[in-house]
């Protein structure tokens, strides 16, 4: 069997690949270099890399191919509505084939035309879906992960799918390992192999070949290799790519799964693409199915009534059963809104494309729907609310404060001066010691770019240190060469600091005019990080004269007072401390000493050298965006690792904290969440998160607990993040938002959307666009449903009261294509209302069609039916010699022609009315003339409808023989009468908006009550009730809204997959 052959071949390939993988892991690295024709110092040559990429293909797992245009076309033909249309075509041919005109080829035009329209409709749907799929694929390619590699001796930042065997990859904390790699450098490197092995603990990696010790258990993975799909959680490393794509370990597993199961199919051979549907698309499919069942019931009812009353085709009397079968199927076609899934796909895909222009890259379509429900935005501070371009403006060392002038990253502008006197201070011992020590604990460099502008490369928080050091004559390039680094322990969110050890052998001072070093000092440990954390580790402090004094409690209090003063000015403060050592406090030859053990040994007995304070300006437009979010019923919460006073100052600047807020209640240190180690109870946590808008000194796990608490209160949370440890919170949040510039690949992989500019304003823009997209979908759903309700009403009334059915099946199909589809698509592209951000967030569990929308659809459908039936009855009376009932018209001479004239008037009137309705439907409650031409796509859709209308009524043969219309025979009276339809539709549908307006206002009031009960801005005395009780209150106030799911927060929102 084919499946068994695939599995057998996969087993052979797997054994061959495993043999090579064993050699790659056990042979000296020189052998691996030779095998893959690479170089440790220069990497692959570009030409060789291009050749290997062509041979091996892109570095990605095999994925199910997107259905081709032909396959989509075939799938459309198997749709429920298409099958109904085919039945209608067959029924038409059977009716005509058994009638008096069986020998007339033109009698079969209706059936043939239905087949043509079926193919045309399927073709349009397939082409549109194919185009939408291509757009979404292009967006997915934009989110392609990148990583640094060495090629021709240069570091290049390339997409991970361009990596080939032999590439030298440079990895750091936050990267996702792009392929299977043999390491030749590793500095405190740890990776999470949970995706591969299921082991929850991070695995330490080394570049060395270690012989297996006797009795030692077999390791799940080699220590000197890292594997595709695993996250780098600590340290950095370099390695040679040994396998890519399906040749990796994870790829071989995927290959076996694919061989055993094969791609999912539907209808025996067609691909199953249901997994790609969003919740909204699935819900609308269910809605369509329910309407379909209802339509079938109505069809059966009409069929029974028609047969019982003896309704016959006026042109082919004598076959009431076959005629009513045709009418019943026609009614089903008119009742089922087949255009909804197509329009939703178009709206979502185009909406995602539009968001790219707002610097938001949507990774998951469902996020577009959820954006409209967002009620809380939890945002980082640095780089999101602020520019992330820090400039040092102050220093403190030896109880003396200094000012640092200048702007931006240009080290030639500005200097260091005494705060009190303003005198030059560049040669002061405290200044030089602080900046030199801080520089030893940095990995950031400063250089000019191609345009001659100074640009830092590395961590944004280190850039002000490098720039300020240059201003006093300390170069990062010189420091790197003169002070060889022996140990580096990178910053982590749990340690809140970075630590390095540099070789200072033979030096009497740290630097020229710097602090003296003890005799025999060989190493200098430098710690840089959060002041309150470092102050607790310091036993001594440096004085202004270079002496060292004890760090007393009073001295520590004075230090933290300085930190508070800087922080109250919205400055970010870092402390710098050192420890001179004659030798390392651990065995350097012992490879088993962990990073945490090294850190614990090195951080003891530190000497505080000084503080550096930098400003990170607020981003332009953030304050306005925060105010807009508040007006939209969205609470903005800042969650930052920064000091509390710094965070509160920035929050005030950007209006997260308002003047009337009690800062003691609205801004807290995250230590309050875990005062004794474990987190406080859920009720206490919920009470805290309901009123707090600034969380400072936050750890990644704090973010996760805050999100869970927000969700327990029934709210929809958007959470920003950029680090590896932010992934759980991003995954838990209803909308995970990763940073495109500062964000790690792990964070991006866990997110629903990525901010390409790391700007908070983009989140609010995305919420606005998400609301507009959802509102557009609601508008076209309501429009389509009202049209189909009207079609059903018109046919039903014709059958029941005994007047001729006003349209043939072919005319109905033509109308669906002309009056429904183009305007519906245009409504889906409707720009959002100007006051869309003044509305409350919609509940997440709310159905797409609300109660007041159902009433609006029925009212509009009834208006349209009444107006068009009135026009039709008047036309029958005029053209059929005063007769309106089918039995009487059938007795007239040339009754078929006369009926065709009346039907033509009704047909024209309906098209015009639906065109007017398209403009009316642009708003549920605003008058039609407001921003009448604001949607350019609507103008195009109406022009297309008008061209199709005049082609249908004027083209000889097509008009008369195929559609059965008589546009040239209805005289001036017919055209004037047709105008009554759109005029009546305009007047009465606009009057219906008055009722809808009051219903919408009541709905918004109920949302406000729900929001006030469920959440926010609770006074400090308020005790949080349980989330279940709160939801009971909400359900009591808003009976027509589905209460939030209180069990949702107990389960993960989605499975975190990092492959």
Distance CA 846, CA 836 (A): 17
- The phi, psi pair for 527, rounded to 5°, reads -120, 130
Question: Burial letters for 464-489: b for 16+ Cβ neighbours within 10 Å, e otherwise?
Answer: bbbbbbbbbebbbeebbeebebebbb
Per the structure block, which two tokens stand in for 109? 């035009």
Per the structure block, which two tokens stand in for 116? 């043509």
Per the structure block, which two tokens stand in for 225? 């290799």
Q: Note the helical H segments in 27-79.
A: 29-35, 46-56, 69-77
Instruction: Give Cα 817 distance to the centre of its chain.
Output: 33
Instruction: Give Cα 201 distance to the centre of its chain.
Output: 29
Q: Is 205 exposed, middle or buried (0-12, 13-18, 19+ CB in 10 A)?
A: buried
State the sign of the Cα–Cα–Cα–Cα dihedral 876, 881, 884, 887.
Answer: negative
Any residues with CB less than 8 A from the CB of 965 and at least 6 apart, and which? 811, 900, 903, 904, 907, 952, 953, 959
Question: Which residue, 566, 547, 560, 567, is CA-closest to 607?
Answer: 547
| Cβ neighbours around 746 below 10 Å, total | 29
Q: How far is CA 815 from CA 86, 439, 669, 910, 959, in A?
A: 17, 73, 63, 9, 14
Backbone dihedral region for residue 234 (phi beyond 0: left; psi -120 to 50: alpha; all else: beta)? beta
Is residue 638 within 8 A of residue 376, CB to CB? The reply is no
Per the structure block, which two tokens stand in for 169? 């990859």
For the chain, the 3-state helix, strand and coil shares in percent, each to the nearest 5, are: 50, 15, 35
- SS3 of 225-250: EECCCCEEEEEEEEEEEEECHHHCHH
Q: Which residues are catalytic?
A: 380
Distance CA 10, CA 13 (A): 5
The CA-to-CA distance between both ends of the chain, in Å, stands at 30
Distance CA 427, CA 525 (A): 23
Helices (H) and strands (E) in the chain, counts: 34, 29
C-beta pairs of 561-567 under 8 Å, 24+ apart in sequence = 562/396, 562/401, 562/611, 563/531, 563/532, 563/611, 563/643, 564/645, 566/394, 566/396, 566/611, 566/613, 566/646, 567/642, 567/643, 567/644, 567/645, 567/646, 567/649
- The phi, psi pair for 525, rounded to 5°, reads -85, 135
Q: How far is CA 1030 from CA 465, 1002, 1033, 1035, in A?
A: 50, 21, 5, 9
Q: Note the helical H segments in 78-170.
A: 80-97, 109-142
Question: Which residue, 544, 546, 524, is CA-closest to 606?
Answer: 524
Q: Which residues is 176 bridged to in the sheet?
A: 231
Please state at what angle helix 320-335 crosses helix 279-308, rounded to 10 degrees.
Answer: 160
């Amino acid at each position: 069997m084919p499946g068994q052959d695939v599995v057998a071949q996969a087993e052979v390939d797997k054994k061959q690949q495993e043999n090579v993988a064993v050699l790659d892991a056990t042979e000296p690295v020189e052998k691996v270099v030779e095998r893959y024709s690479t170089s440790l110092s220069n990497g692959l040559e570009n030409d060789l890399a291009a050749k290997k990429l062509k041979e091996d293909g892109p570095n990605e797992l095999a994925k199910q191919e997107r259905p081709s245009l032909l396959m989509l076309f075939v799938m459309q033909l198997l749709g429920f509505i298409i099958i109904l249309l085919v039945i209608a075509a067959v029924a038409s041919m059977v009716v005509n084939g058994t009638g008096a005109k069986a020998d007339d080829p033109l009698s079969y035009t209706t059936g043939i035309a239905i087949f043509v329209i079926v193919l045309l409709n399927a073709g349009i749907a397939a082409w549109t879906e194919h185009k939408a799929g291509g757009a979404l694929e292009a967006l997915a390619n934009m989110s392609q992960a990148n990583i640094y590699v060495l090629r021709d001796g240069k570091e290049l930042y390339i997409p991970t799918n361009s990596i080939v065997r032999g590439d030298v990859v440079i990895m750091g904390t936050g990267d996702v390992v792009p392929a299977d790699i043999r390491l030749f450098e590793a500095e405190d490197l740890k990776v999470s192999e949970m995706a591969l092995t299921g082991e929850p603990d991070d695995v330490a990696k080394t570049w060395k070949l270690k012989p297996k010790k006797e009795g030692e258990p077999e390791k799940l993975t080699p220590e000197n290799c890292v594997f595709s799909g695993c996250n780098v959680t600590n340290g950095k490393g370099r390695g040679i790519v040994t396998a890519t794509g399906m040749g990796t370990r994870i790829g071989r597993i995927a290959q076996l799964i694919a061989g055993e199961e094969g791609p999912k199919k539907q209808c025996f051979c067609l691909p199953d693409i249901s997994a790609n549907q969003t919740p909204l698309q699935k819900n609308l499919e269910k809605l369509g199915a329910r309407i379909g069942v209802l339509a079938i019931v109505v069809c059966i009812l009409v069929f029974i009534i028609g047969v019982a009353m003896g309704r016959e085709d006026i042109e082919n009397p004598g076959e009431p059963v076959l005629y009513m079968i045709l009418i019943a199927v026609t009614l089903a076609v008119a009742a089922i809104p087949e255009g909804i899934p197509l329009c939703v796909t178009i709206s979502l895909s185009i909406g995602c494309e539009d968001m790219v222009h707002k610097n938001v890259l949507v990774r998951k379509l469902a996020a577009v729907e959820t954006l409209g429900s967002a009620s809380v935005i939890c945002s980082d501070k640095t780089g999101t609310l602020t520019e992330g371009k820090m400039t040092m403006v102050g220093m403190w060392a030896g109880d003396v404060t200094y000012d640092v002038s200048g702007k931006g990253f240009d080290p030639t502008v500005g200097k260091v001066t005494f705060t009190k006197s303003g005198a030059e201070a560049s040669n002061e011992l405290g200044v030089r010691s602080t900046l030199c020590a801080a520089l030893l604990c940095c990995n950031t460099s400063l250089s000019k770019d191609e345009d001659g502008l100074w640009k830092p490369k590395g961590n944004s928080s280190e850039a002000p240190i490098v720039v300020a050091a240059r201003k006093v004559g300390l170069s990062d390039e010189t420091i790197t060469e003169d002070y060889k680094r022996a140990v580096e322990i990178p910053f982590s969110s749990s340690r809140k600091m970075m630590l390095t050890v540099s070789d200072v052998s033979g030096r009497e001072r740290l630097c020229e005019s710097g602090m003296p070093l003890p005799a025999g000092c060989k190493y200098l440990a430098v710690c840089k990080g959060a002041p309150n954390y470092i102050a607790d580790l310091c036993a001594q402090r440096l004085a202004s004269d270079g002496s060292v004094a004890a760090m007393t409690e009073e001295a520590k209090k004075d230090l933290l007072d300085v930190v508070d003063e800087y922080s109250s000015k919205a400055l970010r403060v870092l402390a710098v401390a050192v420890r001179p050592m004659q030798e390392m406090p651990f065995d350097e030859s012992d490879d088993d000493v962990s990073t945490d053990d090294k850190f614990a040994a090195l951080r003891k007995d530190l000497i505080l050298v000084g503080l550096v304070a930098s400003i990170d300006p607020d981003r332009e437009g953030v304050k306005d965006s925060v105010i807009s979010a508040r007006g939209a019923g969205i609470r903005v919460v800042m969650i930052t690792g920064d000091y509390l006073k710094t965070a509160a100052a920035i929050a005030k600047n950007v209006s997260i904290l308002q003047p009337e807020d009690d800062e003691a209640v609205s801004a807290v240190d995250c230590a309050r969440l875990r005062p004794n180690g474990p987190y406080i109870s859920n009720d206490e946590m919920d009470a805290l998160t309901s009123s707090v808008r600034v969380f400072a000194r936050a750890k990644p796990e704090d973010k996760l607990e805050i999100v869970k608490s927000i969700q327990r209160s029934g709210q929809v949370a958007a959470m920003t993040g950029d680090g590896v440890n932010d992934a759980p919170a991003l995954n838990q949040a209803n909308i995970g938002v990763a940073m495109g510039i500062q964000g790690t690949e792990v964070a991006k992989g866990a997110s629903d959307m990525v901010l390409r500019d790391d700007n908070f304003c983009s989140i609010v823009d995305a919420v606005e666009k998400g609301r507009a997209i959802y509102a557009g979908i609601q508008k076209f759903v309501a429009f389509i449903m009202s049209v189909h309700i009207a079609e059903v009403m018109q046919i039903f009334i014709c059958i029941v009261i005994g007047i001729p059915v006003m349209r043939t099946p072919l005319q109905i199909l033509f109308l669906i294509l002309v009056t429904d589809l183009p305007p519906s698509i245009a409504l889906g592209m409707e720009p959002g209302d100007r006051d869309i951000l003044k509305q409350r967030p919609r509940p997440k569990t709310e159905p797409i069609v609300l109660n007041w929308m159902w009433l609006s659809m029925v009212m509009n459908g009834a208006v349209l039916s009444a107006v068009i039936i009135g026009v039709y009855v008047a036309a029958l009376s005029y053209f059929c010699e005063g007769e309106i009932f089918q039995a009487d018209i059938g007795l007239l001479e040339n009754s078929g022609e006369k009926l065709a004239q009346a039907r033509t008037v009704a047909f024209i009137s309906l098209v015009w009315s639906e065109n007017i309705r398209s403009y009316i439907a642009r708003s549920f409650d605003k008058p039609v003339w407001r921003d009448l031409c604001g949607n350019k796509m609507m103008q195009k859709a109406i022009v297309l409808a008008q061209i199709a209308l005049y082609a249908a009524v004027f083209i000889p043969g097509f008009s008369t023989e195929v559609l059965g219309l008589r546009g040239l025979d209805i005289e001036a009276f017919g055209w004037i009468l047709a105008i009554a339809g759109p005029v009546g539709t305009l007047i009465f549908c606009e009057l219906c908006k008055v009722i809808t307006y009051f219903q919408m206002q009541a709905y918004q009031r109920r949302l406000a009550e729900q929001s006030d009960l469920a959440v926010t801005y609770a006074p400090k005395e308020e005790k949080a009730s349980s989330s279940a009780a709160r939801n009971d209150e909400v359900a009591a106030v808003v009976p027509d809204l589905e209460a939030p799911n209180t069990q949702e927060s107990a389960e993960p929102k989605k499975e975190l997959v990092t492959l």
